[in-house]
Amino acid sequence: MDKEGLSDPRDWVDKHGDYLYRCAILRVRDQGVAEEIVQETFLAALQAKGRFAGQSTERSWLVGILKHKVVDHFRKSSREQTNPASDLAGSALPDLFDDSGHWKGEAAGPKEWANPSGAVDRKEFWEVMKRCLGELPPRSASVFSLREIDEVSSEEICAMLNLTKANLWVILHRARAQLRHCLEVNYLGRTG
């Protein structure tokens, strides 16, 4: 450890690389992009190590940098995206609702989750969550990750991805519904 509380930067990849990669892949769902974001995180950390104030752990500091790199990635990909309406066309859940938007029968509605907070501590849950996020349209997954995982404000997401608040709400609603359904089928259906 040096005087700021940081370990030797040459040890960062071994100590934190896998953890940062798991954080990145959960958010961006693309192996190559996740690897690039982790590399950018280490480079930015190396450049900023003199500014590390020691107010958090080394890993927390690196995760904070990674989150900024993820947001930068979403900003950049949003500018490059040509058809943002594609996430709103259709849904993976069309047969769960009737023409008036109500659940088709009790079996189609959401199930009660016994203890969802306990599930998030399990590795198995996060594997299923990663797979479920991978089934979302890219823009929906990006919006959900920014809002619910990285806790970016709605206003920032709208500005970053050039969305209206109404569009953001619709994307989040559909993403949450699809994720809930996927988790109920692939996780809760097996564990409880």
Confidence check: pLDDT of 160 > 60: yes
Residues 6+ apart with CB under 8 A from 157: 143, 146, 147, 163, 168
Higher pLDDT among residues 87 and 146, named by residue: 146
- Residue 92 pLDDT > 70, yes or no? no
Number of neighbouring beta carbons within 10 Å of residue 110 = 11
- What number is the average pLDDT over the span 39-49? 94
Cα–Cα dist 150/146, whole Å: 5
117 burial via Cβ count (<10 Å: 0-12, 13-18, 19+): exposed
- Mean predicted lDDT score pLDDT of the chain: 80
Over residues 97-121, the mean pLDDT reads 56
Distance CA 176, CA 110 (A): 11
In the predicted model, what is the mean pLDDT of residues 79-83?
A: 59
**Predicted pLDDT of residue 144:** 92
Instruction: Provide the pLDDT for residue 44.
Output: 95
Whether 110 has a pLDDT exceeding 80, the answer reads no
What does DSSP assign to residue 184? I
Q: Which of 39-43, 89-93, 158-162, 171-175 has the lowest mean pLDDT?
A: 89-93
Tokens of 88: 């709103």
Model pTM score: 0.62
pLDDT value at residue 4:
61
Is the pLDDT score of 3 beyond 50?
Answer: no
pLDDT at 104 over 70: no
Q: Which residue has the tokens 């009660």?
A: 112
Q: What is the mean pLDDT of residues 142-168?
A: 89
The yes-or-no verdict on residue 192 having pLDDT over 50 is: no
CA–CA separation, 128 and 117 (whole Å): 15
